[in-house]
Chain A
Amino acid sequence: MEPETAASALIDRLVKAGDPYAALGAYAHAGAMARSELEPVILATPRLRLIVASAPYAPPDLLDRLSRGASAPLALRLVKNPATPTTALGRLLRGGPDDRLRRYIAAHPQADAAILSRLAKDGSVEVRRTVSGNAHAPAAVIARLAAEDDAQIARNAAAAPQANAPTLRHLWNADDVWVRAEVAAHPNCPPDILAEAEAATDPLIRRKRAANPAIAEAALLNLLADPDERVRAAAVRNPAVSGDCLDEAGDPSARVRRLFARRSRLSSSLMERLTTDPDVWVRRWIARNPDLPRALLGQLAADPETEVRRSVARNPACPPDLLVALATDPQPWVRAGVALREDAPDTAIARLTGDEDRDVLGALGRNPRTPAAQLDVIARHPDKDVRRSVAFNRAAPPGVLGHLAEDPYPLNRAILAGHRGLALPLVERLLDDPEPQVRFAAATRLARALLTHDQEWSS
């Protein structure tokens, strides 16, 4: 069939079936004409309109359409839906909504600067508080709100990503310890306040200061030597810190050493020390560190703690010979870590063939390196969760996927319906599945292939 004919046949079929779930699946990929045919099916009843208005998977254009002349219950669902676009929010706001609706609009992730500026002047303090907590509120809005004498707005404003230096200074001077702590953590905090925060007697303020990504080396070294372990921990966690600033001797606190083990560019002597740390969590973390040399990874691969060996198996730097050795680890969770690796050598995968543990089989089922014969066995496993893993495998051959299309477990068919490798006639068959979730996924997949002519999806 010609692509155009196949596409219009699909729309005809969906319209004729009158199935709102399948029609909704196709809508996102449909052109204007097809959308106008699908809309009466998707929005056939008031109940369906309410369902669509609150569905985060509904296409934004459809939500926008629903916002025109929306009744109060429909408007409420729309403003609560994170997928509702800015245009729809603006339209609903112009309609003069009540306090509750305005509060939802003020909190909405799609509310833009214009909407938030307008709501920052709202008569309700609850609405203004909500604006101050919206991460998209622009600097001028935050500055205006911060001038209000309201404790909650002050805290929100101090943590607002766009708060500027003058606003932060104003907030610091208000002398509330929680607000000050947020100011000390803010990347736009002025340097003189940072210096004051560094010397603060309250460890909360020093801890927040230590977490500030805009940190100079001298301040960092100071905070890394702080008597309070929580302050040192925050400093080590700071993304601006690199391993070469850390004390070679480690830290007396295991909590801080656990954070050392997560940093890159550690000196080799520190890595060695952390590898033999008595605290198992330090060893678990260092075993995941991709900078770890082969010899230390080998040492940790023989650690008596299962989770340390699992960490080695998940370390991207784990060499092939260690993966082969770990593929015969007595603990299934370690073997599952190897089975999940797309870079595992064939010998490691071969060693896992015949493994009966469900976590190992589930990991092999997902792995594009697993041979087709093994995938076929996994796709027929009695455990539905094990079978499902094959539906996530982008390299699963069509024959194996075809078998899964018959799976009695609906979730497995729903996930499979979105697989690029599933032959289109089989996807089409899933349009008649008893489960709405499966029909939705099948229609999405078909629409992608037939309506967008996307080569990758039209196999």
Chain B
Amino acid sequence: MAELLVIAGQREGELRPSSLEAIAAARGVKQAGDTLAVVLIAADPQALVGALSVEGVDEVIAIKASDDFQPDLTEAVITALVAARKPALIATAHGVDAWSFAPAAAVKLGCGLATDVQALRLEDGALVATRAGYAEKVLVDLDFPGKATVLLTIRTNVFEPAAGSGAPKVTAMAAPAADIATTHEGWKPPADAGGIDIPGSEFILSIGRGVGDESNVEQFLELAGGMGATLGCSRPIADNGWLPKARQVGQSGQLAANCKLYIAMGVSRSVQHQWGMKHVENIVAVNTDPEASIFSIARYGIVGDMFEIAEELQNHF
């Protein structure tokens, strides 16, 4: 019988969707007899209990405090809960919030730690977390011998958000005393992407260096528009100023988080580009080089000239 904890996140009183992904990750290793509790710090935690009442959640631990995220308070909450409940696992979404409390809490409490975890499993009852290493070039399995508690930050957009209805009990917990060292200055909205939404798009047509020249880019914007796709691109295209940086897919660009169909034309598939799109279920690659490594992750491959294929596609839209 183990206790699993998930630290949920909220922004201005709205539940962060990644919290449901962290719940899904923890739920995946929940065994019969285990309990899964979700910790929520908010000005009005009760308002978010409904959103957290998903299948597999047994308890919501509600802590009333400011909606402004406080790493020191979160760390104090974790410290108190580890002392009181000795959880086997603490999971939270990987992101700026987690960076500011998870490593510090893990060191302080002597927990096992893995960040940016992409997969989680039990092997002979012990947790094994998978994360990428060497700039995403390899996948690494980590185990945590001798650690009573393991703290994991879960990569977003990998786990299907937890769904299904549940009826967790709600436990109110008083905010523990914390030595608050940071102040919240206010919210700055993300840079305006001019209406370009790579993370939100279900259908992306991406172009790479195979496009050759700026004067050729327009026809792919037209094709994408006609097909109802968002045009994405590889890094060199954005670096050249041929398309806005908001269209760049990859490690230093955007994650095609909701994409269901990704057509890559004239893209070679560097590990960095792949970072933003390899999870997409339907990848179609068009490349003149039959050896282009993009074909190894594509469901459908066309060895051919992207301009000819684009022209053929234009005839259908």
Which residues of A are at the interface with B, using a C-beta cutoff of 8 A? 80-82, 107, 207, 230, 233, 237, 255, 258, 281, 284-285, 288, 306-307, 311, 314, 331-333, 336, 339-340, 358-359, 362-363, 366, 384-385, 388-389, 392, 411
Contacts and interface: CB of A to CB of B under 8 A. Distances in A.
A284 B291 CA distance: 36
Nearest to A258: B222
B218 A359 contact: no
A362 B244 CA distance: 10
Interface in B272-317: 289-291, 311, 314-315
Given A82-B291, A314-B214, A362 B194 contact: no
A381 to B, nearest CB: 13
A288 B215 contact: yes
15 contacts: A233-B314, A237-B311, A258-B222, A281-B225, A284-B218, A288-B215, A307-B221, A333-B194, A359-B241, A359-B245, A362-B239, A362-B245, A384-B252, A385-B245, A411-B252
A223 B91 CA distance: 65
A20 to B, nearest CB: 17
Contacts of B311: 237
A74 to B, nearest CB: 16
B125 to A, nearest CB: 37
Interface residues of B, number: 22
B198 to A, nearest CB: 15
Given A284-B218, A285-B218, A385-B252, A359 B244 contact: yes
Given A82-B291, A233-B315, A392-B239, 11 more contacts: A81-B291, A230-B315, A233-B314, A237-B311, A281-B222, A281-B225, A333-B194, A358-B191, A363-B241, A366-B241, A389-B239
B303 to A, nearest CB: 9
Nearest to A288: B218
A91 to B, nearest CB: 20
Nearest to A332: B194
Contacts of B192: 332
B48 to A, nearest CB: 33
A358 B244 CA distance: 9
Contacts of B289: 82
A336 B244 contact: yes
Contacts of A207: 315
Contacts of A331: 194
Nearest to A135: B288
Contact of A362 (B215, B221, B222, B241): B241
B239 A385 contact: yes
